[in-house]
């Protein structure tokens, strides 16, 4: 697909039907850097350009749980003397601003919208530490939730803070664990997994060895297990906490420039499908969900 933010067609209503008026229409997204491409189900695609002052080396850190903005960061080594603050990009109207309180944390790995309204991030190498932080954007401050001395591979370690701000998911290429930040208690552990909490905090999904396992997000009892062959491991929950987005390899894409597609798993029904408009169009896991109905309304597109 190349350098763009491609939004591929998926309505939040069942079976691809358009949602009721006034409800968000969440669609999947794939990020690079120069445009937002919308591919509505049964409609003509349209695009929204990302502002030219977003550096090409900016990395997507994550999408807001509302589906109305994304968080970016420019690597400090990419452009000398540039701040390492998070950049928030609102989609409608298209606007950029630095996130107050996000500077000085080093390389930000993940971002979660907390249930209290603050931002929860995991970060590496800031002030010689790796860990998790809560950013109070109204005051322009941050505080550590859980930290440890930095090590060479620590950006692969702390994956996400739960929306309650009470636990962190820590993983590497061998093991994962969920740690209570107040007590240090390990509440869940396993081998070779990557995971993500749902926006409401009710679920924790872990992917490993061609499976996605869904746990209760607070008691960590196992609830569901699904097969997901060729999954690359990165999971993104829908804003309503009912579906999981992920990237998977497809044999039919091997001769294409881009060799992966975006798939969706409905955790209630167990139904899994590849979004047709994303077929062979992505090459990495910089994916998320956006309120495409809001974007369409802002541009006069349907």
User: For the stretch 66-75, what's the b/e string if a residue is b when 16 or more beta carbons lie within 10 angstroms of its beta carbon?
Assistant: bbbbbbbbbe
Residue 19 CB coordination number (10 Å): 14
271 pLDDT above the threshold of 80: yes
Residue 152 has which token pair?
A: 């060479």
270 pLDDT above the threshold of 80: yes
Average pLDDT score over the chain: 78
Query: Who contacts 52 (Cβ-Cβ below 8 Å, separation ≥6)?
Result: none
> In this predicted model, which residue has the larger pLDDT, 68 or 46?
68
- Segment 253-277 mean pLDDT: 80
| pLDDT for the residue numbered 126 | 75
| pLDDT for the residue numbered 141 | 96
Least confident residue range of 14-23, 162-171, 240-249: 14-23
What is the pTM (predicted TM-score) of this model? 0.82
Least confident residue range of 72-86, 166-180, 280-294: 72-86
Give the Cα-Cα-Cα angle 68, 69, 70 (nearest 5 degrees). Answer: 145
39 pLDDT above the threshold of 60: no
- Segment 218-227 mean pLDDT: 94
- Segment 164-185 mean pLDDT: 87
173 pLDDT above the threshold of 90: no
| pLDDT for the residue numbered 284 | 66
272 pLDDT above the threshold of 50: yes
295 pLDDT above the threshold of 60: no
Q: Please give the Cα distance from 168 to 71 (Å, whole number).
A: 20
pLDDT band at 232 (very low <50, low <70, confident <90, very high): low
204 pLDDT above the threshold of 50: yes
pLDDT digits (tens, 9 = 90+) for 85-137: 899 988 888 888 999 999 988 889 899 999 999 999 998 877 788 889 999 99
β-bridge mates for residue 191, sequence order? 175
| pLDDT for the residue numbered 285 | 64
Domains and CATH numbers, the chain: 1-98+276-302 (no CATH), 106-198+200-237 (2.130.10.10)
| pLDDT for the residue numbered 136 | 96
Least confident residue range of 24-33, 113-122, 186-195: 24-33
> In this predicted model, which residue has the larger pLDDT, 192 or 140?
140
């Amino acid at each position: 697909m190349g350098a763009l933010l491609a939004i591929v067609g998926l309505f939040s209503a069942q079976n691809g039907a358009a949602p009721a008026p006034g409800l968000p229409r969440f669609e999947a997204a794939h990020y690079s850097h120069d445009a937002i491409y919308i591919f509505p189900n049964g409609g003509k695609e349209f695009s929204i350009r990302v502002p030219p002052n977003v550096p090409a080396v900016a990395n997507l850190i994550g999408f807001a749980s509302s589906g109305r903005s994304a968080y970016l960061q420019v690597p400090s080594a990419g452009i000398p003397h540039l701040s390492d603050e998070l950049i928030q990009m609102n989609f409608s109207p298209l606007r950029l601003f630095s996130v107050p309180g996000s500077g000085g944390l080093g390389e930000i790995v993940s971002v979660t919208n907390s249930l209290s309204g603050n931002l929860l991030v995991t970060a590496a190498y800031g002030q010689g530490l790796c860990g998790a932080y809560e950013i109070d954007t109204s005051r322009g401050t941050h505080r550590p939730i859980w930290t440890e001395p930095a090590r060479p591979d620590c950006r692969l370690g702390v994956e996400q803070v739960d929306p309650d701000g009470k636990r962190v998911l820590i993983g590497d290429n061998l093991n994962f664990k969920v740690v209570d930040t107040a007590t240090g208690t390990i509440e869940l552990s396993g081998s070779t997994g990557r995971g993500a909490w749902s926006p409401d905090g009710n679920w924790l999904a872990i992917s490993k060895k061609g499976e996605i396992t869904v746990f209760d997000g607070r008691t960590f009892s196992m609830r569901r297990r699904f097969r997901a062959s060729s999954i690359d491991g990165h999971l993104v929950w829908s804003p309503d906490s009912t579906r999981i987005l992920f990237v998977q390899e497809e044999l039919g894409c091997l001769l294409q420039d881009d060799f992966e597609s975006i798939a969706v798993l409905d955790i209630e029904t167990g139904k899994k499908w590849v979004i047709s408009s994303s077929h062979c169009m992505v090459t990495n896991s910089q994916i998320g969900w956006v309120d495409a109905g809001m974007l369409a309304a802002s541009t006069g597109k349907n």
